[in-house]
Chains A and B, each alone.
Chain A
Amino acid sequence: MLDLVMVVMLAIAFAGAFAYVRACAAMTERRSAASDEPP
């Protein structure tokens, strides 16, 4: 039972980490509009 709790917590942590990757990706994708670098 407790193992299930641990696995769920780990799943939540990694889901958060993957969402964090997506959030960072969203922020960096916005850069192309603001950047003066050529595409």
Chain B
Amino acid sequence: MTWQGGLQIAVFAALVTAAVKPLGLHIAGVAEGQGASRFGLRRVENGIYRLAGVDPAEEQGWIGYAVALLSFHVAGIVLLYVLQRIQSLLPLNPQGFAAVGPDLALNTAVSFATNTSWQSYGGETTLGYLAQMAGITVQSFLSCATGVAVALALVRGIARRSVRTIGRTPEYLGKKIEANEVKMAMVALLCVPAFILGLTAIAAVLPAGLAGPSNAGPHGFSEMLYAYTSAAATNGSAFAGLNANTPFYNLTLAAGMFAGRFLVIVPVLAIAGTLARKLRVPASAGTLPTHGPLFVTFLVGTIVIVGGLTFFPALAIGPLAEHLVMHAGITY
């Protein structure tokens, strides 16, 4: 490591550490509805509210929240797409990079707006400084910020309304989980594997999909399965050996990233909305405490069983098959 590299790491660590308390208090203030009261940001925030025609005192239902969030991302994805497509005409492109191709631009726009950071391209040889600064970096921040906004909505949904009867212990959430919350949780849970497995299946039968993996047999299948898993889980990593910078992979992976982000966020917001409406109820003999071993066993069992049932068939013809034939001396 060069001394400049070491210095950069040290300065970064010092800045992050120094920011913990002031930034933490600021975020807590925003989360608790006091607005941006610190760092003199109140005026800036009020200006943005006025510009957007938003009344900060007015609360939003979950549907409005979801529609606003999606609309925000329409603008973000379109802006990032356009920035890449016209980068050759824009300033701050000293290397003179050409416009990014349409399918790659769409893939990259969806990737960074969904916080996946999947890159089908070489960053240093494809994007100019403006597209990196005003596009990629901004969306990297905004996608995290919208994730925090959704998490806060869920926390508010659970935490809203004080106990009417007796007090609550810190562990007890006090909101009845009913059929509707379970339905929404199932939708959130199932739409991601549906896209992962569906898109992998399509890639495994179409010539355009089969052209992607550079390895044959189960290893090639694993490359495809991992790519769609990584995309729909908004993770963004890939097996070496998959050439994903093709129109087929750019578009199908974009679909996976889109679904993995937004089709999960919407039912989570729906759960937040329905929980917020519920009254807190005191714990009784009929309560299943969420901090006890029984609930933890149910939870872990559900994860293992649902995860196993969902992914085992695909894993069997991918990594498991590869491992078994490896013992017979066959590699791909």
The chain A residues found within 8 Å of chain B, CB to CB, are 2-3, 5-7, 9-10, 13-14, 17-18, 20-21, 24-25, 27-28, 30-31, 34-38
Contacts and interface: CB of A to CB of B under 8 A. Distances in A.
A3 B187 CA distance: 32
B184 interface: yes
A27 to B, nearest CB: 6
Interface stretch (B231-239, B261-269, B296-304): B261-269
24 contacts: A3-B102, A5-B102, A6-B103, A6-B105, A9-B106, A9-B251, A10-B74, A10-B77, A13-B255, A14-B70, A17-B70, A17-B266, A20-B262, A20-B263, A25-B270, A27-B184, A28-B184, A28-B274, A30-B180, A31-B178, A34-B178, A34-B179, A34-B180, A38-B279
B183 interface: yes
Contacts of B13: none
Contacts of A36: 176, 178
B184 A10 contact: no
Interface in B105-128: 105-106
Nearest 9 Cβ contacts at the A-B interface: A31-B180, A2-B102, A24-B270, A6-B106, A21-B66, A6-B102, A17-B262, A25-B63, A28-B270
Nearest to B61: A25
B85 A3 contact: yes
Given A6-B102, A17-B266, A27 B183 contact: yes
Contacts of B277: 37
B62 to A, nearest CB: 8
Contacts, number: 72
Nearest to A24: B270
Contacts of A37: 176, 178, 277-279
A37 B183 CA distance: 17
A25 B184 CA distance: 10
A24 B77 CA distance: 24
A31 B266 contact: no
B326 interface: no
A21 B264 CA distance: 11
Contacts of B67: 18, 21
Given A18-B70, A21-B266, A37-B278, 19 more contacts: A2-B103, A6-B81, A9-B106, A10-B74, A13-B258, A17-B258, A17-B262, A18-B67, A21-B66, A21-B70, A24-B266, A24-B267, A25-B63, A27-B184, A28-B180, A30-B180, A34-B180, A36-B178, A37-B277
Nearest to B63: A25
Interface in B16-64: 63
A36 to B, nearest CB: 8
B59 to A, nearest CB: 17
